[in-house]
Amino acid sequence: MAENTDEALTPRRRTLVKAAAAGAVLTPLALAAGPARAAEVPLFQHGIASGDPLPDGVLLWTRLTPSAEAVPGSGKGPATEVSWEVAEDKDFARIVVRGSTTSSAQSDHTVKAEVRGLRPATAYWYRFRSGETLSPAGRTRTAPAHDADTAGLRFGVVSCANWEAGYFSSYRHLAARGDLDAVLHLGDYIYEYGHAEYPTDGVVRTHVPAHEIIGLADYRTRHGSYKTDPDLLALHAAHPVIAMWDDHEFANDAWAGGAENHTPESEGDWAARQSAAKQAYFEWMPVRPSVAGTTYRRLRFGKLADLHLLDLRSFRSEQVGIGNGEVDSAERTLTGRKQLDWLKAGLSASDTAWRLVGTSVMISPLAFGSLPAELLAPLAELLGLPKGGLAVNVDQWDGYTHDRSELIAHLRDRSIRNTVFLTGDIHMAFANEVPVKAGSYPLSGSAATEFVVTSVTSDNVDDILNVPANTVSTVAEGAIKLANRHIKWLDMDAHGYGVLDVTPEASQMDYYALSDRADPAATASWTRGYRTLNGTQKVERADSPVR
């Protein structure tokens, strides 16, 4: 039995309507902070989690509540010893590794355990213990050995989970699956807004804290609130989660030196807010930073695939206005020089069948074409554009064309094939071919493919227009496909998730839609599947989901 010890690891886009939070329904976390709280508190009320699987190990996470006052963000509560153990069976009769560490207010009572010495491609059970109290048990899975001839991989894929906009039923449906190697979260795991700021209408439940989060205590409290959601707790207990951040883990449309949703005059220094958001994120998420203060890193899954995860908020230049030509400037960057070089080198050196790239914003170009005003307005709201502006999405790779051109040229010049970009952010689903030159596509060909998943709950076009699904968005879908021949399919209506199936022959994304984001018992159904065959750089429709 191995022993192991843990190591601590501009104007607003939307018109925000301030609403009073008094009288709102309180979450369990808020109730926990109230004066009527009982002396005995659930010690592991924020659940357990695992993440970033390796062939010989995985990262484990939990959070203790050692006393009634030790709520997230409080800075209170005694230091408490916590141990962990990993077993081959759910009854913990065959424990293979264990260790211990200390939970303290310094890390908001969160703890991480870097577990090693496990077997590749193997399911394990894990749990934590403090005194006589046991946490719930979780199930995790290690990655295949680096040189393994892996027959297949299957990942759940999600993004954009706004607490106030609905329930996290997508997480519940993914948690119920027993066939996933991991779940990939592409960003916007939390949202920073205050109550009823976004969405302004149709709020399903109230954020905690009710105000916009700005300081370290705020970000810790918001993370803690999210981890009281039963569907999110179930997801983390069922599968390892591979997470990266986007803007709402900080503030809307964040860049290296600020954010659209940050006003220094009233909200203080951006660097301090960004630092607080990052600290809370690394405390509360089962993520190991490969580069200090960032989430860009690389994981390998046998000879079948490697996964390159990008941080597209920490190093980017400020978003620029539309129509002034600055989007093409070589002086502006989305990735930062070091990260782009890291990505290019990793893609060149890869000897796997597939190169998966987690990018929080869409790399494929997107033009609107000719759209009616009633459709252009909600699309502009989602994409951060002037309501009557040009069809350029400056928060995504469209606003940083030099970085995109350099990356695409690298893929083409080095004959790097089977690159699949996995994307979230824009609350719509797409299946794209990434064109070498959009203006001359398809003659110029494609350099890669891209699968974009829709939001778990965050507003889409129909939500903004407050109309039933498939009423007006079908007009926009047709116009967008006509103006963007590399976009093979899009869905502007659904909320849900994706399931990515990777084999030596093909990579297929199956898209699942929820019946109703406002229904905590929402059902999920398969809507479409799209795949790219080995060596083709093309996207084609699949007749059925991969079983």
pLDDT at 15: 27
Strands (E), 116-215: 123-130, 133-134, 138-141, 153-158, 182-185
416: three-class secondary structure by DSSP = coil
DSSP for 224-242, written as a single string: HHHTT-HHHHHHHHHS-EE
**Residue 135, pLDDT above cutoff 80:** yes
Least confident of 218-232, 277-291, 490-504: 277-291
245: three-class secondary structure by DSSP = coil
8 Cβ contact partners less than 8 Å away, ≥ 6 residues apart = 101, 107, 111, 112
pLDDT band at 99 (very low <50, low <70, confident <90, very high): very high
CB atoms within 10 A of CB 35: 5
pLDDT band at 193 (very low <50, low <70, confident <90, very high): very high
Judged on CB neighbours under 10 Å (0-12, 13-18, 19+), 69 is middle
For CA atoms 288, 291, 296, 297, give the dihedral sign.
Answer: negative
DSSP for 177-195, written as a single string: -S--SEEEE-S-SS----T
What is the mean predicted confidence (pLDDT) over 7-28? Answer: 29
**Residue 25, pLDDT above cutoff 60:** no
DSSP for 420-444, written as a single string: EEEE-SSSSEEEEEEESSGGGTTTT
pLDDT at 478: 84
CB atoms within 10 A of CB 329: 14
Helix 216-226 / helix 270-284 crossing angle, nearest 10 deg: 30
Residue 118 DSSP one-character state: P
Query: Higher model confidence: residue 202 or residue 143?
Result: 143
pLDDT at 383: 64
DSSP for 392-408, written as a single string: --TTSGGG-HHHHHHHH
Question: How far is residue 320's CA from residue 329's CA, in Å, rounded to a whole number?
Answer: 11
Residue 107 DSSP one-character state: G
CB 313 within 8 A of CB 258: no
**Residue 8, pLDDT above cutoff 80:** no
For CA atoms 475, 476, 481, 482, give the dihedral sign.
Answer: positive
**Residue 19, pLDDT above cutoff 90:** no
Question: How far is residue 491's CA from residue 476's CA, in Å, rounded to a whole number?
Answer: 10
> Identity (one letter) of the amino acid at 533?
L
pLDDT at 328: 85
pLDDT at 16: 23
Could you give the percent of the chain with pLDDT greater than 90?
77
**Residue 159, pLDDT above cutoff 50:** yes
Structure tokens at 447: 């350099």
Judged on CB neighbours under 10 Å (0-12, 13-18, 19+), 20 is exposed
Residue 159: name the closest of 249, 88, 98, 37 by CA.
Answer: 249
pLDDT at 202: 86
- What average pLDDT does the structure give for the chain? 89
Determine if residue 197 is left, alpha or beta; phi over 0 gives left, psi from -120 to 50 gives alpha, anything else beta.
Answer: alpha
Match 């229904």 to its residue by tokens.
519
pLDDT band at 438 (very low <50, low <70, confident <90, very high): confident
pLDDT at 459: 93
- Beta strands 123-130; 138-141: pairing state: antiparallel
Q: Is the peptide bond before 28 cis (omega within 30 degrees of 0)?
A: no
Strands (E), 55-179: 57-63, 80-87, 95-103, 110-115, 123-130, 133-134, 138-141, 153-158
What is the mean predicted confidence (pLDDT) over 243-254? Answer: 98
**Residue 35, pLDDT above cutoff 60:** no
**Residue 376, pLDDT above cutoff 70:** no
pLDDT band at 475 (very low <50, low <70, confident <90, very high): confident
Domains of the chain are 2-542 (3.60.21.70)
67-to-43, 64, 218, 349 alpha-carbon distances in Å: 8, 9, 20, 50
pLDDT band at 390 (very low <50, low <70, confident <90, very high): very low
What is the mean predicted confidence (pLDDT) over 221-236? Answer: 98
Query: What are the b/e assignments for 297-312, b being 16+ CB within 10 Å?
Result: bebbbbbbbbbbbbbb
What is the mean predicted confidence (pLDDT) over 91-114? Answer: 97
Q: How far apart are the first and last CA of the chain?
A: 37
164: three-class secondary structure by DSSP = helix
